[in-house]
Amino acid sequence: MNAPPATTRLPTLPRVERKGLRIAVLAPPWIPVPPLGYGGIEAVVALTCEGLVARGHEVTLFAAPGSHSAAHVHSPLQGTHADQIGSSLYESDHVGAAYDAIDNAASEDRPFDVLHDHSGFTAVAMAHRLSVPVVHTLHAPFNDETRPFYTRHGHKVRLVAISRFQLEHAPPGVGVADVVPNPIRVEDWPFCEDKDDYLLWMGRMDAAKGAHRAIAAARAAGMRLVLAGPVQPGQEEYFRSEVEPHIDGRAVAFVGEVGGARRKELFARAKAFVMPIRWAEPFGMVMVEALACGTPVIAFAEGAASEIVIHGENGFLLADEQAMAEAVGRLDAIDPLRCRESVASRYNVTIVAEGYESVYDSAIQAAASQGPRFVRRVQSVSRWNDRAERVMPGAARASTLQPTG
Ligand code: UDP
């Protein structure tokens, strides 16, 4: 048998100098944090890490090569393999290496207090074998494929939903204890009241996200449509048959995957962002990004769209393409400032970081009561609780944080 390779030692502060929790964050291995273009989960990981570090926690981020963060970054893999997104080879390599590093830290008496997983299924299925409690953010919807998985393995982690909708659609017996929405920092997005005459759709080229329905709605409204997003592996046939034939560069323009200033400009100048989804959207970062720019969102009332969009205030919730087209004529009733404020007040980084602190606290306390495997945690919990009382007297630390939309 080959000897296992030596595992990299993680840089840490000495125990006495630490102010907050020692948190390991596990991002997916496919896209760097923060993402240069497409990458909703990676954008969430980037802001959450920043928020936690700003609040005095020591955060180690396991993420794809090329990642940058206020946290210590550790990239077990050599490449990003974005063209093989979902491959079990790379996911298990990434997760296994991270788990080894976390266990090594514990055996060297520098244990993490909690692991926050955003990476997917391998980490959840193996979580009970780790020496620290695991919090798992549910980035994908519950469906026929994932329900049996969470029914079998969900109890191994503390599950966090990113919308009330997602919490309410957990399978029977699968305990989702908390809702913490995805974060946005509105200051990172340009506010613009002066709009151009086009509708914007942005997302991965999946039928569920509805680029073809956006085309039908824009056509019915007599509006120009800009489509942006990557055609990921497996989406080529949908794009070729349902979207590409309509692209003419005038009524329907396709600009491919966008990032940086171009992406912000597209969001900010659009008359409205269209979200004709037909799936159990667990959150939908594109909606909050558009709203941050003062751009109303016209969405089908599916999944978390019904929480993010406040009908008549920051956009419209509708049933089909025809109603979506008719709503374009009512866009003047929506105040761009109210759009921006509607996400700043509900999804800012502090709300999200506080929400996760509360979740970590519960996960650590539950683990501490479970016996020897987690016995080290008892010390951490009392240290953290003492600090919480000292630093944040009277701060509301609800065990369930729900967006109010
Ligand atoms: N995105 C991007 N460039 C593109 C298409 C999408 O930067 O060409 C970003 C988009 O701004 C958002 C993320 O990718 O931050 C997609 O996240 P969302 O939650 O909307 O969708 P999902 O995670 O379900 O694909």
Q: Which two tokens stand for residue 7?
A: 């595992």
pLDDT number for residue 83: 83
Distance in Å, CA 289 to ligand 1 centroid: 9
Is 398 part of any domain?
no
For residues 83 and 19, state if they share a domain: yes
For residues 62 and 135, state if they share a domain: yes
What are the residue ranges of helices labelled H in 13-63?
40-54
Task: Return the residue whose CA atom lies nearest to atom 23 of ligand 1.
Answer: 40
Task: Return the residue whose CA atom lies nearest to atom 24 of ligand 1.
Answer: 284
Q: Is 264 in the pocket of ligand 1 (CB under 6 A)?
A: no
Judged by DSSP in three states, 278 sits in coil
Cis before residue 181, ω within 30 degrees of 0?
no
Could you tell me which residues come within 8 angstroms of residue 379 by beta carbon, excluding any fewer than 6 positions away? none
Atom of ligand 1 lying closest to residue 43 CA: 15
Distance in Å, CA 296 to ligand 1 centroid: 17
For residues 108 and 169, state if they share a domain: yes
CATH number at residue 290: 3.40.50.2000
For residues 293 and 354, state if they share a domain: no
Distance in Å, CA 298 to ligand 1 centroid: 17
For residues 146 and 222, state if they share a domain: no
pLDDT number for residue 373: 63
pLDDT number for residue 374: 61
Is 298 part of any domain?
yes
Is 69 part of any domain?
yes
Is 83 part of any domain?
yes
pLDDT number for residue 390: 35
Distance in Å, CA 169 to ligand 1 centroid: 23
Distance in Å, CA 340 to ligand 1 centroid: 18
Tell the burial category of 1 from Cβ atoms under 10 Å away from its Cβ (0-12, 13-18, 19+).
exposed
For 144, the domain range is 15-183+349-391
List the pLDDT tens digit at each of the 405 positions of the chain: 454 555 555 554 444 344 599 999 999 999 999 999 999 999 999 999 999 999 999 999 999 999 999 999 999 999 898 888 888 999 999 999 999 999 999 999 999 999 999 998 999 999 999 989 999 999 999 999 999 999 999 999 999 999 999 999 999 999 998 999 999 999 999 999 999 999 999 999 999 999 999 999 999 999 999 999 999 989 999 999 999 999 999 999 999 999 999 999 999 999 999 999 999 999 999 999 999 999 999 999 999 999 999 999 999 999 999 999 999 999 999 999 999 999 999 999 999 999 999 999 999 999 988 766 664 444 444 444 444 433 333 232 323 333 333
Q: Is 309 in the pocket of ligand 1 (CB under 6 A)?
A: no
Maximum C-alpha span of the chain:
70
Could you tell me which residues come within 8 angstroms of residue 172 by beta carbon, excluding any fewer than 6 positions away? none
For residues 88 and 51, state if they share a domain: yes
Q: Is 275 in the pocket of ligand 1 (CB under 6 A)?
A: no
Distance in Å, CA 41 to ligand 1 centroid: 9
For residues 177 and 93, state if they share a domain: yes
Ligand 1 site-directed mutation target among 202, 291, 293, 343, most atoms within 8 Å of CB = 202
For residues 323 and 295, state if they share a domain: yes
Q: Is 289 in the pocket of ligand 1 (CB under 6 A)?
A: yes
Is 2 part of any domain?
no
Is 225 part of any domain?
yes
For residues 246 and 305, state if they share a domain: yes
Ligand 1 site-directed mutation target among 31, 33, 38, most atoms within 8 Å of CB = 38
Is 316 part of any domain?
yes
For residues 143 and 26, state if they share a domain: yes
The single-letter code of the amino acid at 125 is A
- Structurally, the chain folds into a number of domains equal to 2
What are the residue ranges of helices labelled H in 236-313?
236-238, 260-269, 285-292, 305-308
